[in-house]
Amino acid sequence: MAKSTTSSIFVTWTQAAATQVPILGYKLFLSAGTSQYTLVYNNTRNPLITEFNITGLMTGQVYQITLVAVNFNGDSQMSDPLVKYSCVEPSIPSPPVRVTGDRTDLTLSWMIPKNDGGCPLTGFNLYRDNGAGGSISIEVDPLAINSRPSLTQHNLVFLPADTGKLFRF
C-alpha cells in the first residue's frame, strides 16, 4: 500500500451509500491554499476504487482535497475539504536525559529530531510511567511543552509522595 511522502498525499475514502442511481466513480480535486481547485483524479468507470496517491507536490505545502461522487445524472457537490500537508512524521527524537535533579526536582533535556519530515515541528509530547513500572502513557505538562517546537529542556517538580519512585520518561 502506498503512503504519503514529502511530495505526495495518499487519500482514501468510503464508498458512497447505495442509491437508486448507481455511483459510477469518483473525482478528486486539489487546491494549494486558494479557492481554485484542480482535478487530479477522474475515475468514473470503477466505483470500487476508493484511494489515490496525489504525487508531484511541494514539500511542506498545505493542500485542500475535495471529493465528488459521479452518477448518471452528473457530479455531486464537492465534499468538505480535507486539509493535509505534504510531509511525513518527523524522525524519532533522542530519549530524554537527566540534566540535574534531586528528591523533588528533575530537569530533562532531549535533542530535536534530525529530520522534520518536510514540515516545521509544532511541539513535543513528554510522557512518563506511573512510578511503579507501568506503561509510559502519562502526559507530562502538555500546556507547557506541546506547542513549543524549539523546546529541548523541561523542569519537573515531584510531590513528596513520589520520593523514591523510579520514573521512566
Please state the domain extents for the chain: 9-85, 97-162
pLDDT of residue 25: 95
- φ/ψ of residue 144, rounded to 5: -95, -15
Query: Which contiguous run of DSSP H or E holds residue 74?
Result: strand 74-75
Residue appearing with cell numbers 496517491: 53
pLDDT of residue 2: 53
67 and 52 in contact (C-beta within 8 Å)? Answer: no
CATH match of 9-85 with 2.60.40.10: yes
pLDDT of residue 1: 44
pLDDT of residue 161: 87
Weakly modelled stretches of the chain, pLDDT under 50: 1
- Give CB contacts under 8 A, 24+ apart, made by 19-24: 19/71, 21/71, 21/72, 21/73, 22/47, 22/71, 22/72, 23/47, 23/69, 23/70, 23/71, 24/70, 24/71, 24/72
User: Does the model's pTM come out above 0.85?
Assistant: no
